[in-house]
Amino acid sequence: MTALHGKTALVTGAGRGIGRAIAERLAAEGALVAVNYARDEAAAKDTVAAIEARGGRAFAVRAELGVPGDVDELFAGLDRELGPQAPIDILVNNTGITVRGTIEETTPEDYDRAFAVNTRAAFFVTRRALPRIPDGGRIVTVTSGVTRIAFPEAIAYAMTKGALETFTLALAKHLGPRGITVNNVAPGIVDTDMNAEWLRGDEAAWAASAGRAALGRVGTPRDVAGVVAFLASGDAGWVTGTTVDATGGSDL
């Protein structure tokens, strides 16, 4: 029997990249995983198929987060698959977009979009999920190493992730009496489709990114998924209100 047998997990933004790796890892640990996606149905179905091919259980649920009606759409999809008020033992807030630009380059539209997707969605998805998270449940939010490392070239993005870390700190205190742990995982530079445009195919960018990490390489989605799986497990029952740095020691 695996560590998360009998648990149900919701992973937002799980069709590709870090979210997919998290979904696959939680399923491998025995959880039934709701694979949320925004638009790419094929990618989400591929994630579910990969999980099922390894003997795991998962289903896809569409909801584009950061737009009006997003939370209602997400939970309507969950109810269709699980039944109304079915427990959500593990919530992983992973959905996010990167908005690049210095303070001079960032438009109000870019700023608002970044906060809508990265911060507002996590807040209200968590708010809706709370009555369904049993005592002793787990909430894990994927933030970023840019909350520790100055990143002026994507200042609005960094601000959204900093807000999430404050959200986690307050929520951990609030939910402590219920035994629900609330933590962050902060990745560094990870080889994902989101970073493909500037990272893959550019040897200089790849070498520079690897050189920033004390461990001397670019991160992988599985690196992050392993940390999330730990925080979702029973072994992390005495860890709450904190951020686990998963940057490979970048910019130490």
Catalytically annotated residues: 157
Cα separation values, 183 from 22, 147, 155, 173, 238, Å:
15, 14, 23, 11, 11
CA 220 distance to own-chain centroid: 14
Q: Which of 131, 234, 214, 148 shows the shortest CA–CA distance to 185?
A: 148
Q: Which of 142, 218, 229 shows the shortest CA–CA distance to 186?
A: 142
What's the distance, Cα to Cα, between the start and end of the chain in Å? 39
- DSSP lists the bridge partners of residue 181 as 138
CA distance 227 to 94: 13
Place of tokens 């219920």: 178
CA distance 160 to 117: 9
Residues 6+ apart with CB under 8 A from 167: 119, 122, 123, 141
Tokens standing for residue 244: 């686990």
CA distance 131 to 220: 34
Cα-based angle 85, 141, 51 (whole degrees, multiple of 5): 70
